[in-house]
Amino acid sequence: MDADRLISDRCKGVQASGIRRVFELGAQLTNPIDLSIGQPDFPVPDPVKRAAIEAIEQNRNGYTLSQGVPALRQACSKRIADDLGWPSDTGAPQSDVGLMVTTGTSGALFLMMMALLSPGDEIIIPDPYFVAYPSMASICGGVAVRCDTYPDFRMTAERVEPLITKRTKAVLLNSPGNPTGVVMSQRECRELLELCRRKGIVLISDEIYDEFCFADAQEAGNGGGVCPSPAREPNSHNDVLVIRGFGKTYGCTGWRMGFVAGPKWLITEMTKMQQFTYVCAPAPLQWGCVPTFDVDMAPTVQRYAKRRDMVTQRLGEVTDVARPGGAFYAFVKVPGRMNMTGQQFFEKALQRNLLLIPGGVFSDRDTHFRISYATAPDKLERGLEVLVELMKQ
């Protein structure tokens, strides 16, 4: 059997995830100092676990509507209305604003690209980027056009505008960002939305880390500090697709639960794509996510902010680190004096039983590496000691 003939060009054009390769490598090591994977190190809140368990015990295990169970959609709609000021009927049949539950934020991203991208169409993404963005676009026949955001990692309208062509369908913003943790300002979000409106293209706001926005990156709004977002601008529900999730915020990454809200015409097409791919998000876990918005995660986020401070203070002594305003990553520059790529530095760290992700996994450049501080403080401290030692050489 000629496997090469049988495998599709689509699969041949996609490389395996660099993050997954590191994950598999870590499983082979004994007691590694693992600063590689963005897996929250706190348990799923008890009310969330109980809701999922009860749903299973009550036999809520069958198919749901492709858009999601009504109770969760209503909870998401209320959250969007309360947080972003969007219409209170978001997701309702009569509304012009759609909402659906998805199989994680990755599922939302994939459905969005299938709905928007025809062969040769373009979507502008930041560089560095979440590792799945380019491959998802490629699988859909589209082209992920990189917007170089070095050295401050801010995807501004000024940087995006020269990249827009007749084939551009959307701009994809990720703030707080992976792998950098950088948070855009509200002014920058506004300017990017205004650009997309002028050009008649959709602004996709990947807000998987919306709750992991530290106090010093928040801005005044809604009676307190809020994470900047283009979706906070007036009438943004007509032009912005908001993607949010539950996995990072509530520690249930393996549940694969997310949701999207935005223009109804786009949500309608994404729902159609869901019907023929994922069908629906896992039923009992949808019920598990219903009480999530009543859980206060602020103390957890504050603990992570302290870890962020530890990272930037220690590594800032030996190299350049763009200060993360959210998420739980730092994108660290390999000092020029070391004359090393991110991959070479990764291999050097591996010799010390330290796992991180080389920057080339997230970028067309390989000058940095990503660490995740979603780990126990003592392990983080040991990892930082190794990194400082390596970069002082």
Nearest CA to 254 among 45, 65, 357, 103? 103
pLDDT tens-digit profile of 168-224?
Answer: 999 999 999 999 999 999 999 999 999 999 999 999 999 999 999 999 999 987 667
HSE-CB at 105 with a 13 A cutoff on CA atoms is 22
CB atoms within 10 A of CB 223: 6
Alpha helix positions (H), 222-263: 247-250
Q: What value does the CA radius of gyration of the chain take, rounded to a whole number of Å?
A: 21
* Domains, the chain, with CATH or none: 3-44+297-392 (3.90.1150.10), 46-294 (3.40.640.10)
SS3 260: strand
pLDDT tens-digit profile of 101-153?
Answer: 999 999 999 999 999 999 999 999 999 999 999 999 999 999 999 999 999 99
CB atoms within 10 A of CB 197: 16
Burial profile 297-308: b = 16 or more Cβ within 10 angstroms, e = fewer: beebbeebbebb
What CA–CA distance (Å, rounded) separates 264 from 149? Answer: 31
What CA–CA distance (Å, rounded) separates 17 from 129? Answer: 13
What CA–CA distance (Å, rounded) separates 104 from 139? Answer: 18
Residue 27 has a pLDDT of 66
> Which distant-in-sequence residues (6+ apart) come within 8 Å of 349 by Cβ?
355, 356, 369, 386, 387, 390
Burial profile 258-274: b = 16 or more Cβ within 10 angstroms, e = fewer: bbbbbbbebbebbbebb
Residue 30 has a pLDDT of 73
What CA–CA distance (Å, rounded) separates 211 from 34? Answer: 24
- DSSP secondary structure letter of residue 92: S
Please report the DSSP string for 142-167 in residue order.
Answer: -EEEEEE-TTTT---HHHHGGG--TT
What residues in the chain have per-residue pLDDT under 70?
A: 17-27, 222-223
Residue 116 has a pLDDT of 98
Cross-sheet strand order for the sheet of 368-372: 329-333, 368-372, 357-358
In one-letter notation, the amino acid at residue 147 is C
Would you give the distance in Å from CA 365 to the centre of its chain?
A: 20
Residue 25 has a pLDDT of 67
Indicate the angle between helix axes 104-116 and 264-275, nearest 10 degrees: 110
The DSSP element (H or E) to which 370 belongs, if any, is strand 368-372
319 within 8 A of 359, measured Cβ to Cβ = no
Residue 4 has a pLDDT of 81
Residue 369 has a pLDDT of 97
What CA–CA distance (Å, rounded) separates 211 from 245? Answer: 10
